[in-house]
Structure 1
């Protein structure tokens, strides 16, 4: 940790991809103008890992390739908590958008939405595609892992945001070809470019793990870029 800097917290973000007749789109929302972190910016749903995420029940974990890659480049001596990252991604998606990725027949969940529909969160549809650590000099710093999921795996209506909290406004499906015209954080622009390439490679087929995971490493005073294979 750099002296005088806020601690770096683990975070998880979900990029939901929806294949529409007009072309592929991603779900984005607008952060409030008074938000401490990235105010007035369009972002993907996501947030910091909570302590309870480590023991949150999941009916299935992340795909094997994603799990293996998440173990690489630990920030310190402590191992990376893969389960907590997967749970945080699904929890934040549900809280900020009201959208659920789950199945019945698994362990009971007390998360809003999942509990009402008797669903267990399912991380098997999430693919680890990007990692970025917030640079020094920001009011908050996160070690964010980005997960890509196909909206076809959603358990509820992809256009129903009635159960969303108020952290993100103007939730809507943005065509990838138009998303970069929005007011975006730099790292979101980079992630969008990576997603566009993955979508082009997949065509109309199923999503899968990318060949490598780009990593913008700003944990120290000198930025570093790596590819996690």
Structure 2
């Protein structure tokens, strides 16, 4: 376990939203870091949040959002790799395999909704869940096998919105369909592919910058992002931000 310096804590504080007088329980959320190799560089997909959003307005972020109950009832072409599922279920605040699956699926759903990218395999897909109709219309079966668990972070207490976010990664080659107009929600005003180093210099939340640094280190050691690698976990423990390894 590693603590964060006072300056680092201050940066995280500024990257979150307003305080709340009542402690809020964090909600499960997921984010997808979509990567593409171009020559010797690795590019990452970032989108700018609409200026009218209450949460991180105008910031560049990865596609992502809250896990919905319906995500647990979606059929998949391939399941999570067993090593990835083990990391998700065995971490602090243990969750069931079905909940881990739902969290991972929410990263795929949000990437469609916000970026218009459908991760999976081409093939007939049916569900009556409204938020998954894009996969039905475009004939894509969601697939969890490409996802890698990269990091986890919990928003500090006393915030208006709190999330227990799992950061996943996948490669652009895992996208079955790319919609030219982006996602249907219009939550992200601008989508760009940036080299990792340039992405860290963009107007991004501090936790996003931290996760990018973690990802760069992992890619340096493991360019193919093999399943089951160590996962950093950021949270507040006894009024001190710590980095644990899952």
Q: Give the TM-score range, shorter chain.
A: 0.7 to 0.9
Aligned counterpart, 1:133: 154
Q: Give a deviation string over 1:156-182, Cα, whole Å, max 9, x none.
A: 24x834344210111110111211111
Alpha-carbon distance in structure 2 between the residues aligned to 1:166 and 1:219: 36
Alpha-carbon distance in structure 2 between the residues aligned to 1:105 and 1:175: 32
Structure 2 SS opposite 1:35: coil
Aligned counterpart, 2:201: 181
The answer as to 2:183 corresponding to 1:195 is no
Structure 2 SS opposite 1:33: coil
- Whether the aligned pair in 2 keeps the contact of 1:12 and 1:144 (CA below 8 Å) is yes
Aligned length: 223
Q: Decide which of 157, 161, 169 is 1:148's aligned counterpart.
A: 169
* Cα gap change, 1:3 to 1:67, in 2 (>3 Å): farther
Give 1 or 2: higher helix fraction. 2
- Whether the aligned pair in 2 keeps the contact of 1:134 and 1:219 (CA below 8 Å) is no
* Cα gap change, 1:125 to 1:175, in 2 (>3 Å): same
Q: Decide which of 70, 80, 83 is 2:101's aligned counterpart.
A: 83
Q: Give a deviation string over 1:84-122, Cα, whole Å, max 9, x none.
A: 111101111110111011114575245143112222100
Structure 1 SS opposite 2:106: helix
What is the TM-score with the length of structure 2 in the denominator? 0.82
* Deviation of 1:198 (Å): 2.3
Q: Decide which of 172, 178, 185 is 1:165's aligned counterpart.
A: 185
Structure 1 range deviating more: 103-112 or 131-140: 103-112
Alpha-carbon distance in structure 2 between the residues aligned to 1:227 and 1:122: 26
Aligned counterpart, 1:10: 28
Alpha-carbon distance in structure 1 between the residues aligned to 2:133 and 2:239: 40
- Whether the aligned pair in 2 keeps the contact of 1:109 and 1:120 (CA below 8 Å) is no
* Cα gap change, 1:15 to 1:135, in 2 (>3 Å): same
Considering only aligned residues, what root-mean-square deviation do their CA atoms show, in Å?
Answer: 2.3
* Cα gap change, 1:219 to 1:169, in 2 (>3 Å): farther
Alpha-carbon distance in structure 1 between the residues aligned to 2:87 and 2:209: 23
* Deviation of 1:22 (Å): 6.3
Alpha-carbon distance in structure 1 between the residues aligned to 2:125 and 2:172: 23
What is the TM-score with the length of structure 1 in the denominator? 0.88
- Whether the aligned pair in 2 keeps the contact of 1:37 and 1:139 (CA below 8 Å) is no
* Cα gap change, 1:79 to 1:24, in 2 (>3 Å): same
